[in-house]
Structure 1
Amino acid sequence: MELQQMRYVVAVAETGGFTRAAERCHVVQSALSHQIAKLEKELGARLFDRTSRRVRLTPAGEAFLPAARQSLEAAERAAAEVAAATGEIRGTLALGAINTLASVDVPGLLRDFHERYPQVRISLTSARSELLAEQVRRGTLDLAFLGVTPGFRAKGVRSRTLVRDRHVLVVAPGHPLEEEGAAGPLELSRLAGETFVDFAAGSHARAQTEEAFAAAGLHRDVAFEASHWDFLAALVRNGMGVAMLPSTFVSQLTGLRVLPVRDGPRREERLVWSATRLTPAGAAFLRGLGEGPEEAAETAGREGAGSAGSGDGA
C-alpha cells in the first residue's frame, strides 16, 4: 500500500469522479485508475461503485477514507518535522477566525507569513468560536482567533487574550434611541422593550447578550435571527430591529448609528492553539505573534485546567 494510492482514493472521493481526481493529482486517468484497482486487489475489496453517471464510495471505501486521510496527514507532518529540524518550515498552516475579528489583521499576518515561509500552504476557516476551539483541540486547526465571554475555558487548548471589549447598540439612522444615546450610555432596562436582531438561538454568538440581560433580570424580544454579521447589520439598517455588537468591530459597519450601553455584554478576543500538538508551521506562526515556549507553558497551566464554557462567533 502506497501513500500515492491513498492520495488517489481521497481525490476521487472528494471530487466525485476519476477524471477530476486525475486532473487534481496531475496524472492521466488510466494511471490513477490502475493504482486504485491495484490497491483494491491488495485490500480484497472494492472502494468505489462506478457507473456511467457517478462514482461513490462503497462501505469498504467509507471505512478506508478516514484512515487514508490520517495516514496522509501523518506523512505530511513527518516530512514537515524533518524539514523543521534542518531549519526549513513547510507543510500546512490551518488557521481559524471568527468573522467579526477586530484586534488582528489576519490577511496582513498571512501575507507576512507567506513571504517568510513560501513553502507553507495556508488554509483559513471562518466559524463560531466554540467550533473553532474544538477543531484546535482535535488538531484540525493549528490556531484560531475567537470572540468569547471572559469566563470561557476550553480543555486541550492554550490561549492568549488579545483585547477585552464591551458590546454597543447599533440602530438605524433616525431611530428614537439615537437622541437618547447621544446624551449618555443607555441602560439595559431601557432596551428591554426594543425589538432585537441577533444570531441564532442556542448559538454562543447570542449567549453574551442573553447572559447580560439575564444577569440584570431582564427579558428581551428577538424577532429576527441571522447567521452572519452582514445580514444582521442589513436588517438593522432597514429598521427591522436593534442589535448589540462588539465595540471594536462596529467601526467597520456603514449606515448605522452606534450607541453606548451601560453594563453591556462583555467580550474578549483570544488566540488559541493546541496544548498537545502543533505543526512546525503553526509553531512558526505563533512565534511570529510573540508567543514563545515560555509563554505557551504559562498559558497552558491557566487554560488546560478549565472546562468548556460560553463562547461566541461574534
Structure 2
Amino acid sequence: MDLDAVRTVVTAADAGRFQDAAAELSITQQAVSKRIATLEKTLGVRLFTRTARGVKLTIDGQAFLPHARGLLRAEERAVASVRPGRRALRVDVIGRRLAPAALLHDFHREHPEIELDVVTLFDVDAAINAIRAGTIDASFRAVTMPGRQLPDDIGVARAFDEPIQLLTGPAHELAAARAVTPAELAGHRIWVPGIVPGTEWAAYYDALATAFALTIETTGPDFGTEPLLDTLAGSRSLATFVGERTHLLWPADHDLRRIAVCGPTPVYPHSLLWHRDNPHPALATLRDHLSPERREPPAAETWTPAWA
C-alpha cells in the first residue's frame, strides 16, 4: 500500500480540508486529491465526502482511519529501528485529560529538549503488549490488580497517588459541602459511565464501592465527558468521581462543584511501566522525574485498594 497516500488520508481527515492537508504535506491540492482517488480506487470504496466546510470521512473512511494510523506508526518504528536514540520517547497516558497526561506535561516543561510522542491505549494488557513489542517506551497504569503477575521483563514503579474528588451539579444535596467523607457518600447515586469490566479502573472502583458501601452506577452508554457534565448540571441526585488532576471544562452556567473527599482520601495509584531492556536515553530521565523524592507528601490519611 502506498504510504504517501495513507499519510495523505490521515492528514486530510485531521485537517478537514484538502487545501489544509496540501499545505501541511507541502504538496498541491491536486496531488492530495489524486493520491486519495488512487487509494480509493485500490480499496474500492469512497473514503471522503465533500461538505460546505471541506471534507469528512465516509463510514468506510472512519473504519479505515485507525488502520491507516497503524500503518504510519509501523513505518515510524521501521525507520526508528535503524536510527536508535533519535526518535521521540513514546508514552501511553490512558487519556489526554487525565492525571498521567498532566504528569507528562510537567515532565515536558522541565525537559523541553526531550521530544515526546503521546499515545492513549485501552487498558493495562494493551500497554504491556505494546511495551514488549517496542511500540511504546512506557505507560502510566494502575497495575497491581488481583491475581496479576507482571512479566519479568517489565519494570514498574509507583508514580503518583491521585486524590479522587466528587463532582456534582449546583442542585445536588452535597453541592455546598467543602469536603465529604467516603462514609457520607453511602446511599448517594454516583454515576461513572464507561467502566469496562476487567480493566484496572473497574477493579479500582469495585474495591472503592465495596470498602465504603457506595453505589457506583455504570448504566447507560458512555457518550463522553460533555454529556456527563450536562447531566450532572441538571441533576439533584447524580454525582460522579473525578481525579484531582483530571482536566475538565464546562459552561459557566453549569456551576459544577468539585468537592474534596477525605477521612480517608481515596487515591488512584498510578504507576509507570517500561521494558527493562529499553535503551532509550530519555526513559531514565522520565523515571528520575517521577522518583519518590520528588513527589508531594500524601494527604494525612489515604485509601487505596488492598491490591495496590
* TM-score normalised by the chain length of structure 2: 0.57
**Which one of the candidate residues 117, 124, 127 is aligned to 1:123?**
117
Q: Which residue of 2 aligns with 1:9?
A: 2
User: Are 2:93 and 2:120, in contact at CA under 8 Å, matched by a contact in 1?
Assistant: yes
User: Are 1:208 and 1:266, in contact at CA under 8 Å, matched by a contact in 2?
Assistant: no
Deviations 1:128-179 (A, max 9, x none): 4424344223322112223566767643421221222442322222421245
Q: Which residue of 2 aligns with 1:168?
A: 165
Q: Which residue of 1 aligns with 2:132?
A: 137
Structure 1 residues 58-73: aligned runs within 5 Å: 72=75
**Which one of the candidate residues 207, 210, 213 is aligned to 2:209?**
213
1:16–1:163 CA distance, 2 compared to 1 (3 A): closer
Runs of 5+ consecutive residues of structure 2 not aligned to the other structure: 11-17, 45-67, 293-306
Structure 1 residues 39-78: aligned runs within 5 Å: 54-56=41-43, 72=75, 75-78=78-81
Looking at structure 2, the residues matched to 105 and 11 of structure 1 have their Cα atoms a distance apart, in angstroms, of 34
**Which one of the candidate residues 68, 86, 93 is aligned to 2:89?**
93
Matched, 1:79 2:79: no
1:236–1:91 CA distance, 2 compared to 1 (3 A): same
Q: Which residue of 2 aligns with 1:110?
A: 108
SS at 1:226 equivalent: coil
Matched AA of 1:142: D
Looking at structure 2, the residues matched to 273 and 159 of structure 1 have their Cα atoms a distance apart, in angstroms, of 7
SS at 1:168 equivalent: strand
Structure 1 residues 182-201: aligned runs within 5 Å: 182=178, 185-188=180-183, 190-201=184-195
User: Are 2:99 and 2:243, in contact at CA under 8 Å, matched by a contact in 1?
Assistant: no
**Identity of aligned pairs, percent?**
15
Looking at structure 2, the residues matched to 52 and 125 of structure 1 have their Cα atoms a distance apart, in angstroms, of 27
Runs of 5+ consecutive residues of structure 1 not aligned to the other structure: 1-7, 34-49, 58-64, 82-88, 296-309
Once the two structures are TM-superposed, the CA of residue 200 in structure 1 deviates from its matched residue by 1.6
Looking at structure 2, the residues matched to 221 and 52 of structure 1 have their Cα atoms a distance apart, in angstroms, of 45
Looking at structure 1, the residues matched to 191 and 269 of structure 2 have their Cα atoms a distance apart, in angstroms, of 21
Once the two structures are TM-superposed, the CA of residue 195 in structure 1 deviates from its matched residue by 2.6
User: Are 1:165 and 1:246, in contact at CA under 8 Å, matched by a contact in 2?
Assistant: yes
User: Are 2:182 and 2:212, in contact at CA under 8 Å, matched by a contact in 1?
Assistant: no
Looking at structure 1, the residues matched to 78 and 140 of structure 2 have their Cα atoms a distance apart, in angstroms, of 27
Once the two structures are TM-superposed, the CA of residue 243 in structure 1 deviates from its matched residue by 0.9
* TM-score normalised by the chain length of structure 1: 0.56
Matched AA of 2:127: L
* Bigger helix fraction: 1
Matched AA of 2:169: A
Deviations 1:41-80 (A, max 9, x none): xxxxxxxxx97952229xxxxxxx9xx9898556523432
1:71–1:105 CA distance, 2 compared to 1 (3 A): closer
Q: Which has the larger radius of gyration?
A: 1
Matched, 1:274 2:275: yes
Q: Which residue of 1 aligns with 2:228?
A: 232
Q: Which residue of 1 aligns with 2:243?
A: 246
SS at 2:273 equivalent: strand
CA RMSD of aligned residues (A): 4.8
User: Whose RCO is larger (CA < 8 A, sep 6+)?
Assistant: 1
